[in-house]
Amino acid sequence: MAQSLQIAMYTAEAQRALYELSKVLLYTPQGAPSDETAAERIENLRSVIRYHEWRYYALNDPVISDFEYDQLYKQLEALERQHPELITPDSPTQRVSSDLIEEINQVAHLTPMLSLDNSYDARDLLDFDTSVKKLAALPPDSVVEYAVEPKFDGGTIALVYENDRLTRAATRGNGLVGDEITANIRTVRSVPLQAPFSQYGIAKAELRGEAIIRKDVFEKINAARQAAGESLFANPRNAATGGLRMKDPKEAASRGLEAFVYQLAYAADAQGQSVLEHIPTHTDALNMLEQLGFKAPSTQPGPTDLPERRLCRGIEEVIAFCEAWQEQRDAYPYEIDGMVVKVNALDLQERCGSTAHHPRWAVAFKFKARQATTRLRDVEFQVGKTGAVTPVAKLEPVQLAGVTIQNVSLHNEDFIRSKDIRIGDYVLVERAGDVIPYIVKALDHLRDGSERPIEYPRNCPVCHSPLVKPEDEAIWRCENANCEAQILQRMIFHASKHAMDIEGLGESTITRFYQLGWLRSITDIYRLDYDKIAQLEGFGEKSAANLRKAIEKAKQNPIHRLLHSLSIHHLGQKSSKLLAAQVEHVLELANWDLERYQQIKDIGPVLAQNIYNFFHNPHNLEMLRTMETLGVNLRQTPEDRRPASAAEGPLVGKTILFTGTLSTLTREQAEARAAAAGATIASGVSKNLNILVVGEKAGSKLRKAQELGTVEIWTEAEFLERI
């Protein structure tokens, strides 16, 4: 058998011949060469189509275009239509049956389908290795070879081939008996309808594998279902297992199922004698299945830069490979929930044996769970810095992908209503990759009647003023700018990293100072009493001095940080920079009219209105003036003059102003072009101005610039040429 493993269905030679035959079939009409019969051409077409399906579906590496493949397929269909008597069940055209499946039959597996024992960390894998050596009576210091491959998260399948033909496919069922799903599996193109097992002396074989749906295909299926108003699948596994059991094979075919094979569970010759003992290792078995045209985990690096399967010498290599895969799992096109570690030598597998539940020669290394269920104890409504009221679920603490989860946002009222989440419910929580955790659904079948609906408040939970919900928003807001919760959140944001970046003044310190009555508003941050702070438990002289240093430093921040720190709704880091580039002093903004904000590129009407409102509120102006007297910088710094969007361009570092009527550009277009070229748009003529672009009827600004003598004066044409 070791010898015969060299047999390959598609040797390089065979592949060349099939490729050339494809071209002949594509580009010579039927009947040529002259003595070719319809039966011969049909057989040739089937051979080349099978070959191209293998390249495409099993190897993911086609050698002809989709168009050429379609032409070959259509030729075959046309010929079979003309000669229906020549149609055979294993023709590539016969994958999708038009007969509906009346009733799903139960079938017994040739050998039981066991489960896998689980392991979760390096320690568990070391224990597994120790146990393998004990069971196989190997010395403790021996090095065992393990085959390691992904644990595919789809629907388990068992495929039976008899006399080189696929005769039966089944689900796992209870491990002994499964559901017969042959008609649906036949639609999966990575499952060959025929495979030359006889070349290996095998008359009957049973393979195990997994039917799965690629993540991107799954997204498309769900998008289409959403568009059609149909219910969505929770994950690719549900879409796959559902697809296997469709009554209409056409529907199964439309799921985009693929199948990996990962075990040769049974192989017997024509006399019914097992030939498995002639196949020395699991790796040999998978190589053989690959040669036979199946899609097995590949030994070549793929999208994750890791091979799907690797033969590891010793458990340390296994641990490293599993951990590398755990890191890379998001880059893999299929969902996997771990790796499977298998003793490679089949005779050692035999020596290890199995329990009724799982083999002792294999173990699943489970990745950290991304989903968990827990109980929703309560819902708290938190008021954010701009007054948005967010419901937050208080959960019984649960471990998820290595992190304890206790608080999860429920986003808004629509989210709660659409998922019908209630207090006291068991909920399914998910944390995928770096994504923040969220509640997938409530487990409504576990309800005992004590659950309470979540009452959405109509008044601010802190200041009790009525909440308001703008028509086009999903969020209720507290509109009282003096609401204590908002003030506290605004202080926290003001000091945070992206805003004034005051080290040592995080959420807990601010809350503490707030509770002590030391912080009532943002301005209080700049009049803290450091002597008192030094007396505080957990502080001391050193911490107080450090805090003072951090606050003194923050006072010198460029004004774009200050603008961002003011919690003006929608005013982010980038728009703060755009705004900072426009003014020499923050309080100039109090003199701007609404349109002026709108003229700034990337500042839309809503944000313009928010900024306008802020700078036309006397309390806010008072706050800024107080801050200035306390030493906070309100003047434009060189950093503020650096444009936010264009870090490079012919006008980087230059301040520019337009005056008079331009002939080819509107004022707005000209300013946008200048900003894109890196310039800062000035608000008036001053000694900071570098360039004045003059149009027709330029008046006082031109005169002033000429008087200063330091300003370059350009015509519109010159400006256009420079940019």
CA 87-90-96 angle, 5° bins: 90
> Beta strand pairing status for 452-453 and 389-400?
unpaired
Nearer to ligand IVH, 237 or 560 (CB): 237
Residue 284, interface with ligand IVH (CB under 6 A)? no
> Beta strand pairing status for 336-343 and 145-152?
antiparallel
Of the candidate residues 201, 359, 457, 504, the single one contacting ligand IVH (CB under 6 A): 359
Cβ distance 21 to 47 under 8 Å?
Answer: yes
**Which residue in the block uniquely carries the two structure tokens 């004034």?**
500
Q: How far is the CB of 101 from ligand IVH (least distance, A)?
A: 23
Of the candidate residues 48, 116, 500, 547, the single one contacting ligand IVH (CB under 6 A): 116
Q: How far is the CB of 429 from ligand IVH (least distance, A)?
A: 23
Binding pattern for the stretch 161-190 against ligand IVH, x by CB under 6 A and - elsewhere? -----------x------------------
The two tokens of residue 518 are 């030391």
Alpha helices in 332-435 (DSSP H): 346-352, 413-419
Cβ distance 238 to 172 under 8 Å?
Answer: no
Residue 334, interface with ligand IVH (CB under 6 A)? no
Of the candidate residues 47, 71, 75, 115, the single one contacting ligand IVH (CB under 6 A): 115
Stretch that binds ligand IVH, among 110-118, 386-394, 415-423, 586-594 (CB under 6 A): 110-118
373 vs 178: CA distance, rounded Å: 29
Residue 362, interface with ligand IVH (CB under 6 A)? yes
Residue 539, interface with ligand IVH (CB under 6 A)? no
Q: How far is the CB of 308 from ligand IVH (least distance, A)?
A: 9
User: Which element (helix H / strand E) includes 211?
Assistant: strand 204-212
Cβ distance 533 to 512 under 8 Å?
Answer: no
Cβ distance 390 to 396 under 8 Å?
Answer: no
Residue 361, interface with ligand IVH (CB under 6 A)? no
Q: How far is the CB of 383 from ligand IVH (least distance, A)?
A: 46
Of the candidate residues 340, 502, 533, 644, the single one contacting ligand IVH (CB under 6 A): 340
Cβ distance 478 to 389 under 8 Å?
Answer: yes
Cβ distance 391 to 401 under 8 Å?
Answer: no
> Beta strand pairing status for 362-366 and 336-343?
antiparallel
What residues are paired with 312 via a beta bridge?
A: 146
Nearer to ligand IVH, 196 or 359 (CB): 359
Cβ distance 143 to 72 under 8 Å?
Answer: no
Of the candidate residues 218, 262, 294, 658, the single one contacting ligand IVH (CB under 6 A): 262
Of the candidate residues 156, 291, 349, 412, the single one contacting ligand IVH (CB under 6 A): 156
Nearer to ligand IVH, 116 or 144 (CB): 116
Nearer to ligand IVH, 157 or 395 (CB): 157
* Residue of 47, 41, 131 lying closest to 86 (CA atoms): 41
Nearer to ligand IVH, 115 or 626 (CB): 115
* Residue of 59, 481, 68 lying closest to 295 (CA atoms): 59
Q: How far is the CB of 233 from ligand IVH (least distance, A)?
A: 19
Nearer to ligand IVH, 210 or 584 (CB): 210
Residue 129, interface with ligand IVH (CB under 6 A)? no
394 vs 219: CA distance, rounded Å: 30
Nearer to ligand IVH, 4 or 287 (CB): 287
Q: How far is the CB of 215 from ligand IVH (least distance, A)?
A: 16
Q: Backbone dihedral region of 313: left (phi > 0), alpha (psi from -120 to 50 degrees) or beta?
A: beta
Residue 720, interface with ligand IVH (CB under 6 A)? no
Of the candidate residues 69, 128, 146, 152, the single one contacting ligand IVH (CB under 6 A): 152
Nearer to ligand IVH, 365 or 493 (CB): 365
Cβ distance 495 to 510 under 8 Å?
Answer: yes
Q: How far is the CB of 178 from ligand IVH (least distance, A)?
A: 11
Q: How far is the CB of 211 from ligand IVH (least distance, A)?
A: 10
Count interface residues toward ligand IVH (CB under 6 A): 16
Nearer to ligand IVH, 264 or 627 (CB): 264
Task: Answer positive or negative: Cα dihedral of 515, 521, 522, 523.
Answer: negative
Q: How far is the CB of 355 from ligand IVH (least distance, A)?
A: 11
Residue 576, interface with ligand IVH (CB under 6 A)? no
Distances from the Cα of 459 to the Cαs of 378, 380, 467, 469, 604, in angstroms?
18, 13, 5, 11, 30
Give residues 20-59 in contact with ligand IVH (rule: CB under 6 A). Answer: none
Q: How far is the CB of 446 from ligand IVH (least distance, A)?
A: 24
Nearer to ligand IVH, 156 or 576 (CB): 156
The two tokens of residue 689 are 């101005």
Residue 158, interface with ligand IVH (CB under 6 A)? no
Cβ distance 695 to 660 under 8 Å?
Answer: yes
Secondary structure of 421-467 in HEC code, one letter for each residue:
CEECCEEEEECCCCCCCEEEEECHHHCCCCCEECCCCCECCCCCCEE
Stretch that binds ligand IVH, among 76-84, 126-134, 150-158, 574-582 (CB under 6 A): 150-158
What residues are paired with 682 via a beta bridge?
A: none
Give residues 287-306 in contact with ligand IVH (rule: CB under 6 A). Answer: none
23, 74, 151, 204: the active-site residue = 151
Nearer to ligand IVH, 118 or 130 (CB): 118
569 vs 479: CA distance, rounded Å: 12
Radius of gyration of the chain (CA): 35
The two tokens of residue 105 are 């039959």
**Which residue in the block uniquely carries the two structure tokens 């050339």?**
20
Q: Is 151 a catalytic residue?
A: yes
Stretch that binds ligand IVH, among 31-39, 85-93, 112-120, 449-457 (CB under 6 A): 112-120
Stretch that binds ligand IVH, among 144-152, 426-434, 468-476, 576-584 (CB under 6 A): 144-152
Residue 210, interface with ligand IVH (CB under 6 A)? yes
Q: How far is the CB of 287 from ligand IVH (least distance, A)?
A: 15
> What residues act catalytically?
151
**Residues at the site binding ligand IVH, with contacts judged by CB under 6 A:** 114-116, 149, 151-152, 156, 172, 208, 210, 262-263, 340, 359, 362, 364
